[in-house]
């Protein structure tokens, strides 16, 4: 599933850069199919991580997943043509760290987290029962 759109990508890259990264034929226009492929690849990468914890695809898309999808898709587009700028590499690595932490349950997807924030299974629980004390005056006599 696509977690971002071509318009989200256009908000990150200006039109001339997008043309440079996608126009293999020299038409002078953005090749939307290549952008969509980068978006689909980003979605698959996200599903690989997030699928360890949630049923994927997630709908509606949590905003943090949209951000990660854009960063991964832009990284993929740069990777087609040239050395990826350090800023894009760092954003890609940050997206992967975020996804790893989500899959491990250390971070939430925010308001739209399908399991709640925090997930119900991770929420603290309280009990009124007290276990029998292991160490008392009687059991420690002589020490």
17-70 residue pLDDT tens: 999 999 999 999 999 999 999 999 999 999 999 998 888 998 889 999 999 999
pLDDT digits (tens, 9 = 90+) for 117-135: 555 555 566 666 666 777 7
Which pLDDT value is given to residue 127?
Answer: 62
Distance CA 86, CA 70 (A): 16
The number of folded domains in the chain is 1
Give me the numbers of helices (H) and strands (E) for the chain, helices first please.
5, 0
Q: Phi and psi (nearest 5°) for 86?
A: -55, -40
Q: Is the peptide bond before 108 cis (omega within 30 degrees of 0)?
A: no
Is residue 139, in this structure, part of any structural domain at all? Answer: no
Which pLDDT value is given to residue 53?
Answer: 87
* Structural domain boundaries enclosing 68: 6-122
Is residue 130, in this structure, part of any structural domain at all? Answer: no
Is residue 143, in this structure, part of any structural domain at all? Answer: no
């Amino acid at each position: 599933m696509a977690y971002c759109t071509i318009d989200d990508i256009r908000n990150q890259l200006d039109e001339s850069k997008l043309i440079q990264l996608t126009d293999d034929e020299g038409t002078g226009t953005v090749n939307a199919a290549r952008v969509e492929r980068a978006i689909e690849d980003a979605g698959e990468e996200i599903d690989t991580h997030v699928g360890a914890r949630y049923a994927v695809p997630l709908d509606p898309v949590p905003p943090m997943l949209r951000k990660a999808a854009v960063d991964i898709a832009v990284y993929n587009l740069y990777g087609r043509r040239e050395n990826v700028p350090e800023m894009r590499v760092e954003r890609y690595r940050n997206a992967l760290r975020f996804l790893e932490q989500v899959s491990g349950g250390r971070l939430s997807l925010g308001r739209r987290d399908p399991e709640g924030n925090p997930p119900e299974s991770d929420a603290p629980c309280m009990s009124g029962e007290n276990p029998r004390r292991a160490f008392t005056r009687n059991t420690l006599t002589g020490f």
